[in-house]
Amino acid sequence: MQDKIKSEGKCCFCGKTFAKAGINRHLKTHLEGKGLENKEGISFLLKVESDTRYGGYPYFLSLWVDGGTTMKKLDAFLREIWLECCGHMSAFRNPAARKNGAMWDFFEAEELLASGKTKRYEELMEQTAGEIPMSRKAKDVFHQDFKLEYEYDFGSTTQLVINVLAEYSFKADKTVVLLSRNEPLEIFCESCGKQPATQICTAHGWNEESMFCEKCAEKHAKICSDFEDCAALPVVNSPRMGVCGYVGGTIDIERDGSFVKK
């Protein structure tokens, strides 16, 4: 993996480009002005990032979420733009509410779900794992400076971190508004180092060459039978890139995929 990779996004209001570290400060200036136009209510500015504590690329989303939006709707949005491969389970968690060492009975949980006892299931998960019920509304979960975690797929997990950067006393334009996201990251072919990587061979570990440009992918297919058969995945603009069978999002597709050299 390359060391320093640039992560920047465009502001949906004015189209200007900002670095990951500055985009939300900028977005706030637009949102503050929305107080004059929008109906009274409650809404939040969220920073959603891939968990990069153990490496990984600096992906981000800036979202404006209405207080009436359920966690389920936010979950659906995250799946559509970044995560959905084959309908895995997912969860929002409040790290402060998680009881250290508390265990939940996996079979009990499964059974509650299977028999449609969703409410009891949600109670159990909230008490033990700090899991935030999907039916809960954003206004009953979020407040300024609240930080939560999100997991998609409890096996090959994609872990996200969500920060509530601001709280507003007016409604958002929609349930979830995509204000910005990182433009496709400049990830280069690990073989030639010159062209954008467009394909991943998932048969290799992180310390081997596994991301290829079109030309090098052709060469790789000749020496790696897995790549030809089943291990090829596209480079996409998401922290789930290269995991399970993930091939890209279903919304905002023009900013998905690999970057294009100018």
Calpha distance 210→206 (Å, rounded): 7
13 binds Zn ion (CB under 5 A): yes
Q: What is the token pair recorded at 170?
A: 């007016």
201 binds Zn ion (CB under 5 A): yes
Asked if 76 touches Zn ion (CB under 5 A), the answer is no
Q: Is 192 in the site for Zn ion (CB under 5 A)?
A: yes
Q: Is 96 in the site for Zn ion (CB under 5 A)?
A: no
Q: Which of 213, 232, 235, 236 binds Zn ion (CB under 5 A)?
A: 213
259 binds Zn ion (CB under 5 A): no
Q: Which amino acid is at 45?
A: L
CB of 247 to Zn ion, least distance (A): 10
* Separation between Cα atoms, residue 24 and residue 136, nearest integer Å: 25
Which range, of 51-59, 100-108, 160-168, 220-228, touches Zn ion by CB under 5 A? 220-228
Q: Is 233 in the site for Zn ion (CB under 5 A)?
A: no
Shortest distance in whole angstroms from residue 30 CB to Zn ion: 5
Task: Answer for the pair 246, 238: CB distance below 8 angstroms, yes or no.
Answer: yes
CB atoms within 10 A of CB 30: 14
Contact string 29-58 vs Zn ion (x = CB under 5 A): ------------------------------
- Strand order of the β-sheet with 158-170 is 131-132, 90-93, 147-152, 158-170, 40-50, 60-66, 176-181
User: Which among 13-21, 39-47, 56-64, 113-121 is the span making contact with Zn ion, rule CB under 5 A?
Assistant: 13-21
Residue 227 in the binding site for Zn ion (CB under 5 A): yes
Buried b (16+ CB within 10 A) or exposed e, 169-192: ebbbeebbbbbbbbebbebbbbbe
